Every structure is written in C-alpha cells, then in structure tokens.
Amino acid sequence: MTRTEGFPGERQMSSSAGYASAVLEVADAAEANELFQRKGWTDGLPVVAPTEDAVARFLDAAGLAPGDIIGVEPVRRRSISAEKLAIAAVMAGCLPEYFPVSVAIIKAMCRPEYALHGSTASTGGSAPFIVVNGPVRLEIGMNATHNALGNAARANATIGRSVRLVLLNVLGGFPGQLDRSTLGHPGKFTFCVAEDEEDSGWLPLSVERGIPAGTSAITVMQVQSPHQIMNEWTHDPREILDTYASAIRNNMLTYSIWEGNYAFVIPKQHREIFAAAGWSKQNIREYVYEVARVKRGDWRAVGKAAVAGRKDEEKVYCALRSPDDLLVVAAGGPAGGFGAIVPPWYGKKSLAVTVAIDV
Amino acid sequence: MTLRVLDPRQAPQGDAMRMALALPSLDGAIVGMIDNAKIGTERLFDFVEEILRKEHGVREFIRRRKPDASRPVPPGMLAQMSGADAVLSAIGD
C-alpha cells in the first residue's frame, strides 16, 4: 500500500519487516532529517534517520521484539512499544548498546508514582532528570566528571534525548498541545548524568535505593532546572550543606513550598570535605532534612504576602518528607566547589523511581 | 537508491471519541461540576453556579473536588457524576 504525502519525493507505505510503523521513502539521511523537521517530529535538533535496519539493531541489543510494550502511560493509557522507543533512540543519535538504558528509563517513568502525564502537561515546565549507576556507565562511555550536567558525552546526551523524543512523538507532548509548559527549561532537551562511583567512597544512588551492588540501574525524577551553588571557603560539612539548603529554601519560597524529592549533585571538592569528616550520604540527608525548612510567613519577603496570610504564618514547611527524599549524587569535575540542587517539578506529585537495567 | 525510514509517531489507540450531543435546554437540568483542586476553582464555580441557576434554570448541581489536580478523577467520583445531564470540568489556577 502506497500513498503520497504532502512533501516532494516522499512516499509512505507499510513496513515489510514486521514493524507497525508506516515507512517513508526518502532520498538520503539529509532528506530524512528535513522531512522529520517539517513534520514537527523532532525537538528542533537534527535527527538520525530511523531506518528499518537501524531500529532492528537497537531491538536486538535489548533482546526485544518490535511489539513488546515497554510501558503504558497510566492516564491516557498510551502504550509505548519497543519499536517506537527504538525509533526515538536512533533519531536521538544513540548507539544500540545504549538502548537497554532508555528502556529502563521509560519503564520507570510509566510507574503511577511518576505522574508522567501530569508532569508532561503541567504549566510548571519540568524535565526527567536521569541518573545512571553501575557497570553500564563505563561500558557505554558515560561522563560523570567535568561538565557533568552539560552533556559532553554522546551516551549522556543521546539517552536523555531519546526520552524526550518519546514524550513528543509517542505521548504527543508537543509544546502547546499536551505540553502546556509556560517556560520549560533546557534540561528538556536532555538531562542525563552518570554517578562518579569510582572516585567516591559513598554508596551509589541505586544501591541506596534498593538495587544490588554491581547491577546497572537508572533513577529518574521529574525536575525543575538545576541551580548551582558555590562554597569554597570552608572545610566544615555543615557549612557546605548550609549553602545547598539555602538554595532549597530559596526554591521553596520563590517556586514551590511543597515537600518532595530533591537531588544534590556533589562534586569532588565537596565530597573530599565530607569524606574527611566521615560523612556518608545518610549523614547529609539527615542534616538537610533538619535545616531545609521555611516558615509560611517567609513568603512575605519574596513578594507573596497575598498568600502568606491565608494560614498560620508560623507554620514550618520542610523540603523533604523524610531524609530519604533527598537524592545525593556524586558527579562533577575534580576542581571547584560548585554543586547543584535539583528541585522537584511540584512537591511530591511526582516521585523519583529507580529500576534495574535489563542487560 | 532510497532510504526507508519509520514513522516515529504513535498511531491513535482505542475507540474513536465523539462529542456528546448538546442539551436542548439547561432548564431543570442537573449539572455536575468537577473542581480540579486548583486554588481558584471553588470561587470560579460559585460564580458559574449562580449564573447557571439564575439565568439558565439549572435545577441541581453535583459538585466534587478532585483530590489531586495532576491526576485523573477517581472512578468513584466519576460514577457520582453519572446522574448529571452535563458536567463541567475546570481549572481555576
């Protein structure tokens, strides 16, 4: 079956290779990119042509059939097939060996507690923040050191982007359609880090969240843009954390006061201070749980007097429901006292999810 | 020589939806109102209810507030709306 689409030289037909997706014939990869751009099937960046052969290589790398369902978005009940995810991963520029990581991320994001639909549709534009742990990081060459949040490595950049392309093309999360973000943030393009397990004495994030040591895993959390902090003027772990906690309090007052997951990205220079003081990630979480609090009346200082007085202004709000809500990630270059807080999309409406990567 | 590429979009799933027929009149009708739990919805619905009652003769209202603006209406709450002739769902952000 062949039918003509509205673009010169384009023909669309059924696949003879067992795919559910329609096939489009184009002259070459450059024309494929231009076609996808015109169709609005991208995030605006150039895409790699998802040929039948390329998609097959990705499915083989994860041992999946095209029709296997990776997850179902719980609200609109949209199924995300292995085929559509593989197409997105090819388009994003992934290599086949990255594909099991993308699969794990989509599985996690389809858990009800992740609130994929609500967070995708919200005016409070947010993005999935992905942390990768375990041997797969080294096997596929992920970066966990210099410019950790800046996506210099292919695996970091393209894995995060593969998720974005699924949100667009499979779930319909196009800006102005399902995605009603007022601003969004640059992390929507891709926001995927690896934890620097080799240069940290801490337990990896995935192990703290119940995955056996030595097993590759991802953690994904729906977040606002990261906020960098800097403190190079103390060796007291409490003072270092006071700087991070201040950024949290600022977020609580200027963005959302509600409790939920926060993440810290802690660079080596700060980790050395915690190591010298014998502080584990758990020590960090417990300290932050106590100090990352604001009073309702503090809203008055940031222009929110109109809402501050609606309830008891002495009421104290904590950023975390418990210390466990704080995700502590070791990543960043070897020099510089620059860390980051990564705030949640909107309190506890979406919760971080950790799943093992099936490799 | 051509390149065969796959369409990345998800085809529509499930049965096609269609618009419900418009009520011929609101006079004597029962109207359901689903409050999406945003901060201003209750106030907005108070205004709407007054207009519908006084100017359009709506007889009865079934008003419910969702427990969470970011999640679907719970099935039990949706069932309570089945007795309404028309339902409003709104956000007052």
Comparison of pLDDT for A288 and B72, the residue scoring more: A288
Count CB pairs under 8 A between chains A and B. 87
Q: What is the CA radius of gyration of chain A?
A: 22
CA distance B33 to B46: 10
Q: Is the pLDDT of residue A7 over 60?
A: no
Torsion angle of C-alpha atoms A173, A176, A181, A187, degrees rounded to 10? 50
Lowest mean pLDDT among A12-26, A88-102, B77-91: A12-26
Per-residue pLDDT tens over the stretch A311-354 = 999 999 999 999 999 999 999 999 999 999 999 999 999 999 99
Helix (H, G, I), strand (E, B) or coil at A330: strand
Per-residue pLDDT tens over the stretch A276-314 = 999 999 999 999 999 999 999 999 999 999 999 999 999
Q: Contact B5/A75, CB-based, under 8 Å?
A: no
Q: What is the pLDDT of residue A3?
A: 36
Region at A159 (left for phi over 0; alpha for psi -120 to 50; beta for the rest): alpha
In a domain, A338, yes or no: yes
In a domain, A80, yes or no: yes
The alpha carbon of residue A27 is apart from the nearest alpha carbon of chain B, in Å, by 5
Interface of A with B in 9-28 (CB under 8 A): 12, 15, 19-28
Q: A101 and A155: one domain? A: yes
Q: Is the pLDDT of residue B36 over 90?
A: no
What confidence category does residue A5 fall into, taking pLDDT thresholds of 50, 70 and 90? very low
Q: Is the pLDDT of residue A4 over 50?
A: no
Overall number of domains in chain A = 2
Closest residue of chain B to A92, computed from CA coordinates: B8
Listed residue (A289, A288, A332) closest to A131, CA to CA: A332
Interface of B with A in 7-36 (CB under 8 A): 7-11, 13-14
Identity at A303, one-letter amino acid code: G
Per-residue pLDDT tens over the stretch A87-108 = 999 999 999 999 999 999 999 9
Q: Is the pLDDT of residue A12 over 70?
A: no
CA distance A355 to A322: 21
Q: A190 and A129: one domain? A: yes
Q: A277 and A233: one domain? A: yes
ipTM for the complex shown: 0.91
The alpha carbon of residue A14 is apart from the nearest alpha carbon of chain B, in Å, by 9
Average pLDDT along chain B: 90
Q: A165 and A258: one domain? A: no
Torsion angle of C-alpha atoms A288, A289, A295, A301, degrees rounded to 10? 20
Domain that holds residue A58: 39-224+350-359
Per-residue pLDDT tens over the stretch A105-119 = 999 999 999 999 999
Q: A169 and A281: one domain? A: no
Average pLDDT along chain A: 95
Q: Give contacts of A69 with chain B, Cβ < 8 Å.
A: none
Q: Between B3, B4, B8, which is nearest A165 by CB?
A: B8
CA distance A125 to A183: 6
Q: A182 and A247: one domain? A: no
Listed residue (A186, A19, A216) closest to A102, CA to CA: A216
Q: A56 and A201: one domain? A: yes
Q: What is the pLDDT of residue A11?
A: 53
Q: A151 and A46: one domain? A: yes
What confidence category does residue A179 fall into, taking pLDDT thresholds of 50, 70 and 90? very high
Q: What is the pLDDT of residue B18?
A: 86
Q: Is the pLDDT of residue A8 over 50?
A: no
Q: Contact B7/A88, CB-based, under 8 Å?
A: no
Q: Contact B13/A78, CB-based, under 8 Å?
A: yes
> Are A107 and A128 a contacting pair, CB within 8 Å?
no
In a domain, A182, yes or no: yes
The alpha carbon of residue A38 is apart from the nearest alpha carbon of chain B, in Å, by 13
Q: Give contacts of B93 with chain A, Cβ < 8 Å.
A: 123
In a domain, A30, yes or no: no
Q: A219 and A306: one domain? A: no
Considering chain A, what percentage of its residues have pLDDT values greater than 70? 96
Q: Contact A52/B7, CB-based, under 8 Å?
A: no
Q: Does A351 reach chain B within 8 Å, measured CB to CB? A: no
> Phi/psi of residue A340, each to 5°?
-145, 145
Q: A212 and A82: one domain? A: yes
In a domain, A29, yes or no: no
Q: A56 and A162: one domain? A: yes
Q: A178 and A311: one domain? A: no
The alpha carbon of residue B24 is apart from the nearest alpha carbon of chain A, in Å, by 31
Instruction: State the number of CA atoms in the 13 A half-sphere of A213 facing the CB.
Output: 4
